Amino acid sequence: MENLKTEDKSRLNKRRGAVSGLRKTYERFIKIRGEPRDIAMGFALGLFLGFSPMFGFQVWVAILLAALFKWNKIAAALGTVISNPITTPFIYVATYYVGSKLFDTAQILPARLAWDFDMLVRILSKTPQVFWAWTLGGVIIGLPLACFGYYLSYAAIVRYRTQLRQRVVEKRKLLKERVKKRRSRGRKKGHWKTPRKTKRKRAVGTRKT
C-alpha cells in the first residue's frame, strides 16, 4: 500500500511539474517583445521543423531560418519544443507511418520493431527511403499544425497585449481618482492650497530727460 501511495505521489508530482513547465513556457512566449506577426511566424516555423527528421538540430535550423526571414528567433526556438524526449518517439512513428503510405517502405520498419543487427542493417541499407518517408510525413503532419499554431499564437499574443493595455488604462484611472479624492479632502480640511498665479512685476524704467 505504501509503495502504491508513493508511486501515485510521484506521478502527481510529475504531472504538476509538466503543467507548471507548460505554463511557464506559455507565459514566456506571450511576453516576447516584437511584432505579433513575426513572433507567430517564428513559432509556426519552429513547430513545423519539430516534425522534421533532423534528430536534435531543429532548434539551430529554426533560429537560422528565423534570422534569414527576419522572424522572431526566440519564438522559433520555443516552437521546436514540441519535439522533446517524451514526444519524439510518437512524432517519428506517426510521420513515418504517414510517409510510408506514399513510399514503398512499409516492409522496412514493421509496426513492432525488433531492434537486432539484421534490422539495423536493413534500415541503414534503405536509409534514403526511410528518410524521405519521415520527411514527407513530417510535412503532411507539420504543415497544418504550423498553420494552426500561427493563428493560435497570434491570437494569444494580441489578446495578452490588449488585456495589458486595459490594465494600464484602469490603473491610470484609479490613480487619477485617488489624486482627486486626496485633493478634495485636503481642500475640505484646509491643508490643500491651490497655487496662486504670481503676477510678474513689470519693471518701470526711468526716462532720461
- Four-residue CA torsion sign, 133, 98, 115, 59: positive
Average pLDDT for 189-193: 57
Q: CA 137, CA 98: separation in Å to the nearest integer?
A: 5
C-alpha cell at 6: 508513493
Predicted confidence at residue 209, as pLDDT, reads 42
Predicted confidence at residue 184, as pLDDT, reads 76
Q: CA 122, CA 167: separation in Å to the nearest integer?
A: 61
Q: What share of the chain is helix, strand, coil (3-state, %, to 5)?
A: 70, 0, 30
Helix (H) or strand (E) run with residue 125 in it: helix 117-125
Predicted confidence at residue 90, as pLDDT, reads 87
Mean of all residue pLDDT scores within the chain: 78
| pLDDT, tens digit, 9 for 90 and up, residues 61-107 | 999 999 999 999 999 999 998 888 888 888 888 888 888 887 766 55
- Prediction pTM value: 0.69
Better pLDDT: 23 or 57: 57
Q: CA 51, CA 145: separation in Å to the nearest integer?
A: 10
Q: CA 134, CA 91: separation in Å to the nearest integer?
A: 10
Q: What type of residue sits at position 40? A: A
| pLDDT, tens digit, 9 for 90 and up, residues 103-150 | 766 555 554 555 455 655 666 566 777 788 888 999 999 999 999 999
Q: CA 79, CA 45: separation in Å to the nearest integer?
A: 7
